[in-house]
A and B are shown apart, each in its own frame.
Chain A
Amino acid sequence: MLARATLPVEKPELEASDTDHGAVLIDRWQAEDARVWLERRLAEEPENPKWRFFLSQALFYSGRYTEALAALDALIADVPHPQFQSFREFIAKTIKSTATLTPMESEHFRIFLDPDRDAALVPYIRDVLEQSYQRLGMHFGRFPKEKVLVEVFPTTDTFYPASSLSARDIEVSGAIGICKFNKIMLLSPRNLARGYRWTDAISHEYLHYLIVHLSANQAPIWLHEGIAKYFEDAWRLPESAWLSRQTESLLAHALANNSFVGFKNMEPSLVKLDTTYQVQLGYAEAASAIDFIIDSLGTKGLINILQDLSEGHGDGATGAITRVMGYGFERFEKEWRRFLQSKHLQEHKGVRLPRFTLKANVNENQSEQIPAEDLREEIESTTARLHTRLGDRLRQRGRDRAATREYNRALDKDPYSPYLLNKLAGVLMTQQRWEPAQQYLERARTLAPDYVATYTNLGRLYVAQQSFEDARTALWEAVQINPFDPLIHQYLAECYRRLGIDDRAKQEQQLLERLQESR
């Protein structure tokens, strides 16, 4: 996601200068250029508090937090303005939040993460980012020369202060990443019980980075989120899979009830919408608008809109749309709706909005005080929950055949629960009834493509059936969602061994051992 506010403090009301080019550069996230420009001005006016403040901002935007803090401290010593103090506190918090992060470099990224707690991300994050860089670069014709700063926060306690997001933003909006202050910030998937598709999320945030730079930070939120949503899986898929069952259902429902969020209501940020439904519908709307633009003008048209925005005509996206599409924004909206209607979208049964339940207060001192996530929440029907409980107990007593029937009875009551489908598949696999198990898992995959257990179970199933290539594919999906499950790496290691890819097998084996040690 992207947050429009660039800093948690307002700009100080200082005396106007002949030009605010420094501030403009900072706004456009051209931090290095801003720094050079400001240093030049400071050579002329070394005591000017405005230039000194902007310089500290430019340093902060370059990821040079300590220098930014030192510059600001010196400024506060001379000019103890409360707004400087506020910014100083923010930098100090950021430094504290990033204290445990260790840098690792890739060709185009400077990645900071906690190598102990987020060891499971280390083998994959570079590849995901570089792949995004290449694929999205090809789509948008933009390959940033400076290394992009990426910070992966191990806990919410470090993520909140640095990202200026709240727990509510995460749990309601699913805002587990943010592109802000010229950098990408991501909450480690370890903080969510089942993780989340962090690879798409990081690619999504990189898209925001690209859009800021392509549009000189002039793109409205709907355009930002639409593009990011539309292209977030482009790093791994040839065609965008933005129109999932969930998105389709949301749009179909909105179309039928004329209950769209509206592009204007998406400002200043999607995460500020009231409910998860609205947030998800907002994303769906925005992505469908991008689909409409691409359908009308191709990716080139989209790039032209961004280009137009960067030229700073002053009339924002409305003007850009008008100039590029050849008609006004009102018509754009009408055409877009017509476009949606032409797709004959359907509401699918069993579609659930994603849940982003956080582990509470996962910090250094209270690492054990985690409230239990009630697994029963996974099943909507109370009766189904009772059947599931009976099924579990039967399994514990070794009565797998009877347990299968109970899970089936539960599934009768709640046929769209991926949790139940996985349970049923699990007990069938225990009885080596692979075929029905696979059917249930495939159904679970269709219903909830980001439900990690489905992929782990599929991996297990394929390994048992010695279909190692299929297993690898399924397990790679699991890695993209929750790479902290040791079982995934155990199966992956086995797959790589059997496929003769020894170096990857070794890598997975090492990761497995490390994860097992840390449990």
Chain B
Amino acid sequence: MSQEYRSLATFVKRTQRGLGIRRYLQAGVVLLVVALLVVLTGIGVYLLVPSVPMLAPIYSGFAAIVTGFVVFWVIVPALRRRPKRETLSSIAEAYPDLRDDLTNALELDPEQLERSNPRGMALDLVRALHRQTAQKMQSYTSREVVRRYRLQGLLWFGLLLCTAVLVTVLHPRILQQSLHVMVSPVSYLPARDLKLTITPEDATIARGMNLEVQAQVTDEVKRRVEMQILLQRPGQPEKRYAMEQVSPGRFRYVFLKPQASFSFQALSEGFRSPEGRVDVVPAPAVGNLALHYLFPDYTGLPGRTQSGGGDIQALPGTQVRLSMQANVPLNKGTLRFAKGNELPLAITDLALQGEILVMEEGSYRIEIEDWHGLSNPQPPWYTIQVTPDAIPTVKWLRPEDGIEVDETAVLDVSYEAADDFGLQDAVLVYQGSDGVEHRLPLRQGRFDQPRVTEQFSWDLYQHPLPAGDTVHVYIEVYDNDTISGPKKGVSETLTLKVRDREGEHQALEDLQREIADALLDLLADHLELADDFEAWRDQDTPEPDDLVRAQAKQQQAAERAEQLAEQLDEALAKVQNDPYSTYETYADLQALQRNMGYLQQELIPQLEQAMQPMQTPPASDAQQARADEALEKVVEELERLSSLAEDIANAEKLHDLMQLSNKMMEQQNQLLATLDNMPKDFQGGEIPPEIQKLLDSIDQMMQELANTISQMPQMMSDEFLNQQLENLPINDMQQKLDEIQKKLTEGDLEGAKKLAEELLKTLSTMVASMQNMEQQARGGPMDAMSQQLQKSVDTLSDLVRRQEGVLDETQSLDQEALQQLNRAQQEAFEAMQRDLERELGELSKQMAALSRRARQHPELDTDFQRAYLDVQQRLSQLRQHLQNHDMPQSQDALAGAQRQMDWMQQRVEQLQSQDQQLEQHATQAQHRLNALRQRMEGLPNNRQAMLSPDQRGQLGQLGQRQEAVGNDTAELQQAFDNLMPLMPFLPSETVNNLQQAVPLMQQAQGELNAHQSQQAIPPEQGALERLRNAQNSLQQALQQLSQRGQMMGQSMPMLRQAGRLPMPDQRPQVDQRQNGMAGASVRNFQLPDKEAYKVPRMFREDIMEALKEGYPERYKELIEQYYRNIVR
């Protein structure tokens, strides 16, 4: 088949299908128009049927005929298949230029032609026809052919449809009724026998009520129905009333508030309904309503009765009892609430009682029903109003908002709370930045009063706040409402800033470590300087640059020492407020500060001074030796300081370790207790959260412990040892902890307990070992050397006493010598007194002549004359002293006059114009003065010469005693020299003073041996002063040492709190010159003995008795440790 033929055939088929669809549409339009027309006609019929019942069947028949006609003549033809020829004709009509080409072309199927005559000429012609027709057809469309046939009756269809819609909108059921007439026309025909029924037939109503009666007839034909009242009051005629038609066949009549009972009947077209009966009775009602309120117990309010209305106003939980009276006997009484629920009323004769529990707002009414089943008409609604119980209020009194609190302090909390009825349960709620809320009960249970002011000590050690965090705190307080549940009152939220004591402590430890390191560096610098010194000694002249560098380095070291002193001050200040540092640290730091001060003020300047001559080499051997000695002293002191600083830092670390171990012990005990309390039938699986928490906590502490231990400074081992320096069994404990977890998971409770006990044992051993370590670190060599130290202290006291003896006796001998001398002087003086006075007179005259002569020389100014007057005054004093036999004063006055005279003579000699007479006066005056001096000097003045042989012997003995004291002092100094490095706590002044005392004693010894009592006294006094200084500084240090030992590792804040800390500013002012006695008030008192500190006997006996009962094996170590500590 050719392409052209196929396209032509397709075109025709498409056109044929289009035309078919168009015909179906046309038939549908016709059908709908007719149907709408019939239904709309039915509306008219329906309206006419009540009057002309026969119209209904006529209409129904008409509708059937019309419908049949339309189906037969319109629908059926439309459904028939349209012949092809008609289609071709339609195409030809639409496209006349086709003529018959299309018909012909379709008639000539090229395939058939090819089969019948494959080589005929016609085939080509046919193909040409097809080609030509197809070319024409290219511009034609099937749609155009179909469109030529327009749909008829659409307008009608539209009009009718609109009408139907309009009617339906106006009267929604009218079309349905029209259809009903069409489908069941018989029901509209009149019935032959009419039956009337009434509803209700019998009724009892309350007086004053209306009653509606309905009548029903058997057909729906429009007719008149009447209501007849049969029985009324006697003599009253029967009455009829028309009934109102409600719907076809249904009528009604309303009796308006009948006052008496009666009978009735419905009538229509001679037919009657059965008789009905209405009984009219009084309407039920209640009165005398009374409400009795019973308030909730927690309010403490008395009951109350309210009458005259049913409205309720009460607190939630109030019970309201209602009582009332009815007018007729009742079958039922109910309290009906607006929300729909109801409560029955108890009925006794005509009395009713009920109860309402007020919990929420609403309304109610009282519904009753009498024996006839009649209820009270339209009972009134009463309201229920709930008076709310007020929310409690709480107000902070203390602390203030925004303050900074100490993480270990006890914070005073004070608040005021109030409620209208009562309060209970106060809780402190705090929340850190982690968002976790912590609740701390302030009070559990009821408060006595509805308004309270309460106080609470918040021990932040037991209930810690996150260190360094800002915490929000508020108080919750609850009222005692037992009905709707306690209501919560919340205070304002305070913001507290928590001090990070641990962080601060850590910083302090860092500072201490820094100080120790800095001191070590300082020591290193000086040791290197000592190295340099040695190197320079080997050279003839050291390089100038080296010297300058050394000088600069020394300068830097001095500056660094100053910085260190500041750091020490800072550390000391911090320790005083650090709850984690011990008193020992404080005392040690104080000692460090004291010794540091000595280094700075004494030793470093001495070194600097000793190094000065080295700047201009070559320095002499003596200078070098002095520098070496000064440097050695600095190095020794720095060694002591470095050791002490390291001891402080180490002891602090150990103390931390100890604290941590104790915490671990507590946790471990808690774990054991929790394990003991676990059910015996524990099956394992998931570990209970409280135990897991404890295990995690112990694990964390162990890691912390290991970490701290790893940070502990160790001795530096240069050697390989076959063992690790490990005496804290951390790994073992860690392993045990893991095993406990495993055992618990497996349900082996006993195994877990056993392991936990072992762990506790290991821990207690470890704690004991830590205690030892801490004690060693704190006491260190001091404990070991304390005996030796005490001995040295005693020796020093003895030395002071002996030196005092030597001095006293020397002074006594000297005094005796002085008195002898005075006596001798007196005798000699009396012998020459007259001569002296004459000489003085002559001298005065000579001076007056000198003065007169000097006035002739204007160069000799007023100063010269003033000097003259001064000389005269002194001579007058001299005369006076001589009369008083006061030789020393006389000699002083003479010396003063001589000085002035010297000056005057000098001025005379310097005169430009020589004046021989003046010079002569001056010389003569000088001679007389000299003569006077010589006469006076001739008086006996040698004390030594005054001593008797016996006294000389005594002085010799004193010299021996002084030598012995000196030797012992030197020995003691040596002993201290040895002790000092081991006891860096000791003050350096002690040794220094001893060192200074020794040469003084040697000097005194020399003087005593030479029987020079007067000359021996100053060095003796100097030595004694130094011995006393040494004694004082040592006693002070020992006092601190002893105090340090008594503080038992407590912190400064704790001691301050306990009032055990001696405040420096509270010490009495002590005058050193009076041996520390001045200003101190002394009373006789008895020091408490050891017994006074013991636990009272009764308690001790109790403890011993308790111990007889035995103790759990696992606590054995702990108990033993406890007693060991007590004993220690």
Contact = CB atoms under 8 A, between A and B. Distances in A.
A238 to B, nearest CB: 30
Nearest to B716: A392
Interface stretch (B90-98, B325-333, B525-533, B1046-1054): B525-533
Interface stretch (B237-245, B334-342, B724-732): B724-732
A189 B722 CA distance: 9
A373 interface: yes
A233 B715 CA distance: 35
Interface string A384-407: 001101101111110101110110
Interface stretch (A335-343, A363-371, A464-472): A363-371
A453 B721 CA distance: 9
A393 B646 contact: yes
A102 B981 CA distance: 54
Interface stretch (B72-80, B185-193, B516-524): B516-524
Interface string B520-559: 1101110110110000000000000000000000000000
A366 B732 CA distance: 8
Given A194-B721, A382-B982, A390 B639 contact: yes
Nearest to A370: B723
Contacts of A452: 719-720
A423 B717 CA distance: 9
Contacts of A396: 716
B240 to A, nearest CB: 122
B732 A405 contact: no
Contacts of B715: 375-376, 389, 392
A14 interface: no
A422 B719 contact: yes
B1009 to A, nearest CB: 37
A370 B720 contact: no
A114 to B, nearest CB: 14
Nearest to B640: A386
B841 interface: no
B732 A368 contact: yes
Tell me whether chain B's interface is mostly helix, strand or loop, or mixed: helix
A362 to B, nearest CB: 8
A422 B718 contact: yes
Looking at A191, A375, A452, which has the most chain B CB atoms within 10 Å of its CB?
A375
Interface stretch (A223-231, A299-307, A479-487, A495-503): A479-487
Nearest to A398: B524
Contacts of A190: 722
Interface string A84-128: 000000000000000000000000000000000000000000000
B643 interface: yes
A393 B520 CA distance: 8
Contacts of B719: 194, 419, 422, 452-453, 456
Interface string B299-316: 000000000000000000
A426 interface: yes
Interface in B821-864: none
Contacts of B643: 386, 389-390
Contacts of B153: none
A395 B725 CA distance: 20
Interface residues on A, range: 35 or more
B982 A386 contact: yes
B523 A390 contact: yes
Nearest to B784: A382
Contacts of B995: none
A369 B732 contact: yes
Contacts of A405: 527-528, 530-531
A195 B723 CA distance: 10
A372 interface: yes
A192 interface: yes
Contacts of A383: 978, 981-982
A359 interface: yes
Contact of B721 (A371, A373, A387): A373
Contacts of A403: 524
Contacts of A453: 718-720
A428 to B, nearest CB: 12
Nearest to B724: A370
Given A190-B722, A191-B722, A422-B719, A402 B524 contact: yes
Nearest to A394: B524
B770 to A, nearest CB: 13
B981 A456 contact: no
Contacts of B524: 394, 397, 399, 401-403
B718 A423 contact: yes
Interface string A68-87: 00000000000000000000
Contacts of B517: 397
Interface in B1058-1090: none
B642 interface: yes
B781 interface: yes
A193 interface: yes
Interface string B163-194: 00000000000000000000000000000000
Contact of B720 (A375, A397, A419, A482): A482
Given A366-B732, A368-B731, A395-B716, A382 B722 contact: no
Looking at B527, B729, B731, which has the most chain A CB atoms within 10 Å of its CB?
B527
Given A382-B982, A383-B981, A405-B531, A390 B520 contact: yes
Contacts of A484: 720, 722
Looking at A190, A376, A382, A402, which has the most chain B CB atoms within 10 Å of its CB?
A402
Nearest to A365: B732
Nearest to B725: A372
A194 B722 CA distance: 6
Contacts of A193: 721-723
A190 B721 CA distance: 9
Contacts of A386: 639, 643, 781, 981-982
A370 B728 CA distance: 9
Interface string A12-44: 000000000000000000000000000000000
A372 B642 contact: no
A376 B713 CA distance: 14
B312 to A, nearest CB: 81
A359 B727 CA distance: 11
Looking at B521, B528, B981, which has the most chain A CB atoms within 10 Å of its CB?
B981
B705 to A, nearest CB: 15
B729 A402 contact: no
Given A366-B732, A376-B715, A383-B978, A485 B720 contact: yes
Interface in A163-219: 189-195
Contacts of A394: 520, 523-524, 527
Contact of A397 (B521, B527, B639, B731): B521
A387 B527 CA distance: 12
Please list the 10 inter-chain residue pairs (A to B) with the smallest Cβ-Cβ separation, ordered nearest first: A402-B524, A392-B716, A485-B720, A402-B527, A399-B524, A453-B719, A372-B725, A405-B527, A426-B718, A370-B723
Given A399-B528, A453-B720, 14 more contacts: A193-B722, A366-B732, A370-B723, A370-B726, A386-B981, A389-B643, A392-B716, A393-B642, A397-B521, A419-B719, A426-B718, A456-B720, A486-B720, A487-B720
28 contacts: A190-B722, A193-B721, A193-B722, A194-B721, A195-B722, A359-B722, A362-B723, A366-B732, A368-B729, A368-B731, A369-B729, A369-B732, A371-B727, A382-B982, A386-B643, A390-B520, A390-B639, A390-B642, A392-B715, A392-B716, A393-B716, A394-B520, A395-B716, A399-B527, A401-B527, A402-B523, A406-B639, A486-B720
Interface of A: 189-195, 359, 362, 366, 368-373, 375-376, 382-383, 386-387, 389-390, 392-397, 399, 401-403, 405-406, 419, 422-423, 426, 452-453, 456, 482, 484-487
